[in-house]
Chain A
């Protein structure tokens, strides 16, 4: 072995190297509630690795019995700052962290939180999409796929992000917990006149937590994109066209807040935990494997829904002896 890194006090369930265009670094998620980052002092020999920062994912620490921790780096070249998504352990939350400088990581967004262990998580390569895709695998047999926008995107009026027309405003000011820079009373939709034709209501992951209570602290942050055109969320082409977001939301002067949307909730069998989810190299195919010995492949169809396209089981077929 070249080097042994043993700062962790509990089992290390998930490790990943940083993407190649960031300097060489390794992130290790341990069941003690911490994610530690290591870099080699000698890039050629790689014999000496030092810890260079860590994230205290569970304040106060955790132990093996609280469940595993999993992580995934954002592989996009075009993000201004490196990002990593971590999930699991106490509370079974999934959060996105961003690196401000070499040693300092800040939580910028909580994607979701569940009633079941988060067993695996993967951040898809972005490949020119205006959003990021993150998939989580849970012990409740669900695979959840999120779109995530950490930064404002410049979307033209024609481009839609989602087929789904959203229900009004389920955004709750008090639940803003970890999302910074949001002013009180800002729903963007607090203006009553928006409600009747409210196709711009953007809720993040509230609906996603299938088993969670309605008052848990999953954050739904609205998007404020300064002067950017609000993406048109109409499904079948609405004659009224894009709803101007300027109506009553006092856009100017608000800082951008990251937002996300649950776009796929794939249920295999609530009794069978999903152990692993991985995206292929272009983020067009998602493969999952679960305790029933079946590996499934999922693809997004042209109308934005995720469907299973193939399944391979390790079970012997009944024809086999």
Chain B
């Protein structure tokens, strides 16, 4: 029977005391935990709905009643601490925003590529390479910014390391899965690997080079320099063959070298220049035969120098150590360059060194599928417990063990695991991992990253995008949950949140936010804005209530000041499509027309005013409570010098009055009831107007 897990994941907390964060000031003295607990105390908490901050306080275990009256309380019992896992530091803000833009562009690119199948793969790979390069450039920029900070503290140093690690990981992934798959380029991984190696783990370092070769030293200066020999070997190991050739050429004339050393130096230098480089035009066969030839020559050199060393050991010792050194170095170089694995292993400092040299010198046309075999053999020579997360991630990647790779990426940084799993998904290599993990890794990491940004005042938008672009059910639901909790501090922020809802089609959330904003603005007296929000959700009742409030304000103040409000509402509603129904809302139309009526009246255009008033009554858009006021408003028009209302119009007015009176009698409703005296005046005015109208017409 295989050894299988039992179904439970048992996890025992094992951490040093120092790794725990302490509340400051603490709630009980160090070491007195059991005492504190025995005094009926424990810790209670509550979680913030948006950003996972936690409020902590002291709680009791037994009920108050069961304790005696003499229990002590302390100050600490009354405190509430609010703590949270730290969100991103400000130093990363620019980086996060830049890469967010790349992320969004990448998603769009892949969507478009999906649509057009014929060129999908070609566009896809080139596009992906472009995006990948953009990501790397952002990482490099951030690295430079961090490096520029003078007097860095621990945090900055760690950040710098993290970004270097992220770049190295990303670059290697790009090489293995993208660059070598790009149509038109050679598929050998070797030149790309060397480029990666020298870009991310540079050796020899620039300052060493400067120290040795800077200031145009003479050949003797070079030969005297102790640091020259390891430098030359490093050059060979890392494939800087032309530089090596030049150095050897400059070294050769030195008087401090033995004749044989000088000769071999020159010879090696020549060989360096003749190193075959692969190109896409050359066939594999032709390249291989050139390589074999070159290799043979190197082998010859190595054997010859080796025999020199072996034989002339004692003789050279008397002449001084330098010549020995030179020959030894030349021997080592030629061994390395002919691809001798032992020599390479001896010279390499880090495993990447050995990997690179092995590829370059013994398998110059290797494809990506050779990597697992090679890396396995090399890693054995190293102490794995000393490996960093970066090492582990790189090794996993070279082994094509992508699940392991992702886990280590996550340990390096959460930004990395989220974005790289996204890239891997687009390259179509993530599906293997999906079968291994319980959850979809891309969704898991993107959601974790998005959630961590939500509490940050500048990054919440970015966080929501990450959740939305997961394009999974869970991502959408989580997003909808959080978007309604984003605090709407200002109009602008509210607008941004609403735009997010529109982009991601979160209709439920959009409605809730509009209602919330509507109520907020209503309370603050911004009635026009409130109406606009309620219109977006077609909440006619609320709009009606606001209009009632407007009308009542007019009635009590006697001044019609709501004109601009109504205008604003009508204007904005004509722009937005969702609130087409707004224009047809009765109360708004009523208020609008009534305002028109007022203006016309004030301007002295009584005939027009009368028409408007009549149309209000005829369309029956006036609310019941306003009818009485409208009739009273008609009195001056009836009584005025100019004839405003025709006989039919007057009959209409009377009909309205009649129905109002009847309704008043039937249900004894108070709305719109008019004073007796006003009613009488109205009736008299109507009669007189009738009389006039019959005469005139």
| Pairwise interchain contact A310-B13, C-beta atoms closer than 8 A | no
| Pairwise interchain contact A314-B6, C-beta atoms closer than 8 A | no
Most B Cβ at <10 Å: residue of A163, A264, A296, A313:
A313
A140 to chain B, nearest CB (A): 13
Name the interface residues of A271-321: CB closer than 8 Å to any CB of B. Answer: 272, 275-276, 278, 280-282, 284-285, 287, 289-297, 299-318, 320
| Pairwise interchain contact B407-A303, C-beta atoms closer than 8 A | yes
Which chain A residues lie closer than 8 Å to B439 at the CB level? 300, 302, 304
Please give me the residue from chain A that is nearest to B26 by CB atom.
A316
Query: Secondary structure at chain A's binding surface: helix, strand, loop or mixed?
Result: loop
| Pairwise interchain contact B26-A303, C-beta atoms closer than 8 A | no
Q: Interface readout for B360-381 with A: 1 if CB under 8 Å, 0 if not?
A: 0000000000000000000000
Which chain A residues lie closer than 8 Å to B444 at the CB level? 302
Which chain A residues lie closer than 8 Å to B47 at the CB level? 278, 280-281, 285, 287
| Pairwise interchain contact A207-B7, C-beta atoms closer than 8 A | yes
Which chain A residues lie closer than 8 Å to B31 at the CB level? 315
| Pairwise interchain contact A310-B7, C-beta atoms closer than 8 A | no
Most B Cβ at <10 Å: residue of A297, A300, A308, A310:
A310
| Pairwise interchain contact B56-A314, C-beta atoms closer than 8 A | yes
Q: Which of B9, B21, B43 contacts A304 (CB 8 A)?
A: B9
| Pairwise interchain contact B410-A305, C-beta atoms closer than 8 A | no
Name the interface residues of B8-67: CB closer than 8 Å to any CB of A. Answer: 8-13, 15, 19-33, 36-37, 41-47, 49-50, 52, 54, 56, 58-59, 61, 63
Which chain B residues lie closer than 8 Å to A25 at the CB level? none
| Pairwise interchain contact A127-B481, C-beta atoms closer than 8 A | yes
Q: Which of A276, A300, A309 contacts B85 (CB 8 A)?
A: A309
Please give me the residue from chain B that is nearest to A68 by CB atom.
B61
Q: Which of A267, A285, A312, A317 contacts B12 (CB 8 A)?
A: A267
Is A176 an interface position by the 8 A CB rule? no
| Pairwise interchain contact A289-B44, C-beta atoms closer than 8 A | yes
Is B482 an interface position by the 8 A CB rule? yes
Is B448 an interface position by the 8 A CB rule? yes
Is B603 an interface position by the 8 A CB rule? no
| Pairwise interchain contact B11-A275, C-beta atoms closer than 8 A | no
Q: How far is the CA of A310 from the CA of B13 in the complex (A)?
A: 11
Is B5 an interface position by the 8 A CB rule? yes
| Pairwise interchain contact B485-A304, C-beta atoms closer than 8 A | no
Is A255 an interface position by the 8 A CB rule? no
Is A166 an interface position by the 8 A CB rule? yes
| Pairwise interchain contact B8-A165, C-beta atoms closer than 8 A | no
| Pairwise interchain contact A302-B445, C-beta atoms closer than 8 A | yes
Please give me the residue from chain B that is nearest to A208 by CB atom.
B8
Which chain A residues lie closer than 8 Å to B13 at the CB level? 266-269, 296, 308
Segment of B132-140, B311-319, B468-476, B662-670 in the binding face: B468-476
| Pairwise interchain contact B46-A305, C-beta atoms closer than 8 A | no
Q: Which of B22, B63, B437 contacts A320 (CB 8 A)?
A: B22
Which chain A residues lie closer than 8 Å to B436 at the CB level? 235-237, 303
Which chain B residues lie closer than 8 Å to A304 at the CB level? 9, 437-439
Segment of A54-62, A83-91, A154-162, A221-229 in the binding face: A154-162
Is B326 an interface position by the 8 A CB rule? no
Which chain B residues lie closer than 8 Å to A320 at the CB level? 22, 24-26, 30
Which chain A residues lie closer than 8 Å to B486 at the CB level? none
Which chain A residues lie closer than 8 Å to B58 at the CB level? 314
Which chain A residues lie closer than 8 Å to B434 at the CB level? 158
Please give me the residue from chain A that is nearest to B46 by CB atom.
A278
Name the interface residues of B63-120: CB closer than 8 Å to any CB of A. Answer: 63, 81, 83, 85
Is A136 an interface position by the 8 A CB rule? no
Q: Which of A158, A267, A293, A297 contacts B37 (CB 8 A)?
A: A293
Is B584 an interface position by the 8 A CB rule? no
Name the interface residues of B155-194: CB closer than 8 Å to any CB of A. Answer: none
Is B463 an interface position by the 8 A CB rule? no
Is B344 an interface position by the 8 A CB rule? no
Is A167 an interface position by the 8 A CB rule? yes
| Pairwise interchain contact A281-B481, C-beta atoms closer than 8 A | yes
| Pairwise interchain contact A161-B11, C-beta atoms closer than 8 A | no
| Pairwise interchain contact B45-A278, C-beta atoms closer than 8 A | yes
Is B245 an interface position by the 8 A CB rule? no
A145 to chain B, nearest CB (A): 9
Please give me the residue from chain B that is nearest to A145 by CB atom.
B9
| Pairwise interchain contact A275-B44, C-beta atoms closer than 8 A | yes
Which chain A residues lie closer than 8 Å to B437 at the CB level? 163, 302-304
Which chain B residues lie closer than 8 Å to A127 at the CB level? 474, 477-478, 481
Q: Which of A282, A292, A297, A317 contacts B30 (CB 8 A)?
A: A317
A265-B11, A275-B44, A313-B21 are contacts. A207–B30 as well, Cβ < 8 Å?
Answer: no
Is B492 an interface position by the 8 A CB rule? no
| Pairwise interchain contact A316-B25, C-beta atoms closer than 8 A | yes
| Pairwise interchain contact B37-A292, C-beta atoms closer than 8 A | yes
Is B4 an interface position by the 8 A CB rule? yes
Is A185 an interface position by the 8 A CB rule? no
Q: How large is the interface on B (under 10, 10 to 19, 20 to 34, 35 or more residues)?
A: 35 or more
Q: Which of B52, B432, B477 contacts A237 (CB 8 A)?
A: B432
Is B447 an interface position by the 8 A CB rule? yes
Is B422 an interface position by the 8 A CB rule? no
| Pairwise interchain contact B42-A128, C-beta atoms closer than 8 A | no
Q: How far is the CA of A235 from the CA of B436 in the complex (A)?
A: 6
Is B435 an interface position by the 8 A CB rule? yes
Is A27 an interface position by the 8 A CB rule? no
Which chain B residues lie closer than 8 Å to A301 at the CB level? 407, 410
Is A203 an interface position by the 8 A CB rule? yes
| Pairwise interchain contact A311-B15, C-beta atoms closer than 8 A | yes
Which chain A residues lie closer than 8 Å to B37 at the CB level? 272, 291-293
| Pairwise interchain contact A293-B27, C-beta atoms closer than 8 A | yes
Is A16 an interface position by the 8 A CB rule? no
Most A Cβ at <10 Å: residue of B7, B27, B438:
B7
A278-B46, A281-B481, A289-B42 are contacts. A305–B26 as well, Cβ < 8 Å?
Answer: no
Q: How far is the CA of A108 from the CA of B444 in the complex (A)?
A: 31
Which chain B residues lie closer than 8 Å to A275 at the CB level? 42-44, 59, 61
Q: How far is the CA of A264 from the CA of B438 in the complex (A)?
A: 13
Q: Which of A262, A308, A310, A312 contacts B23 (CB 8 A)?
A: A312
| Pairwise interchain contact A302-B407, C-beta atoms closer than 8 A | yes
| Pairwise interchain contact A302-B56, C-beta atoms closer than 8 A | no
Is B441 an interface position by the 8 A CB rule? yes
Q: How far is the CA of A166 from the CA of B5 in the complex (A)?
A: 7
Q: How far is the CA of A316 from the CA of B74 in the complex (A)?
A: 15
B564 to chain A, nearest CB (A): 35
Please give me the residue from chain B that is nearest to A143 by CB atom.
B11
| Pairwise interchain contact B20-A294, C-beta atoms closer than 8 A | yes
Q: Interface readout for A104-128 with B: 1 if CB under 8 Å, 0 if not?
A: 0000000000000000000001011
| Pairwise interchain contact A287-B54, C-beta atoms closer than 8 A | yes
A155 to chain B, nearest CB (A): 13
A163-B437, A315-B27 are contacts. A295–B54 as well, Cβ < 8 Å?
Answer: yes
Which chain B residues lie closer than 8 Å to A287 at the CB level? 45, 47, 54
| Pairwise interchain contact A305-B445, C-beta atoms closer than 8 A | no
| Pairwise interchain contact B11-A307, C-beta atoms closer than 8 A | yes
Q: Which of B23, B56, B59, B448 contacts A284 (CB 8 A)?
A: B448
Which chain B residues lie closer than 8 Å to A296 at the CB level? 13
| Pairwise interchain contact A282-B478, C-beta atoms closer than 8 A | yes
Q: How far is the CA of A280 from the CA of B6 in the complex (A)?
A: 28
A8 to chain B, nearest CB (A): 12
| Pairwise interchain contact B9-A310, C-beta atoms closer than 8 A | no
A163 to chain B, nearest CB (A): 5
A252 to chain B, nearest CB (A): 27
| Pairwise interchain contact A314-B43, C-beta atoms closer than 8 A | yes
A-B contact pairs, 19 of them (CB 8 A): A128-B475, A158-B435, A163-B5, A163-B437, A236-B436, A237-B432, A262-B8, A267-B10, A282-B482, A284-B451, A291-B43, A294-B43, A296-B13, A297-B52, A302-B407, A302-B438, A308-B13, A316-B29, A320-B24
B→A interface (CB under 8 Å): 4-13, 15, 19-33, 36-37, 41-47, 49-50, 52, 54, 56, 58-59, 61, 63, 81, 83, 85, 406-407, 410, 432, 434-439, 441, 444-445, 447-448, 451, 472-478, 481-482, 485
Query: Which 3 A-B residue pairings sit nearest by Cβ, starting from the closest?
Result: A316-B26, A304-B438, A128-B474
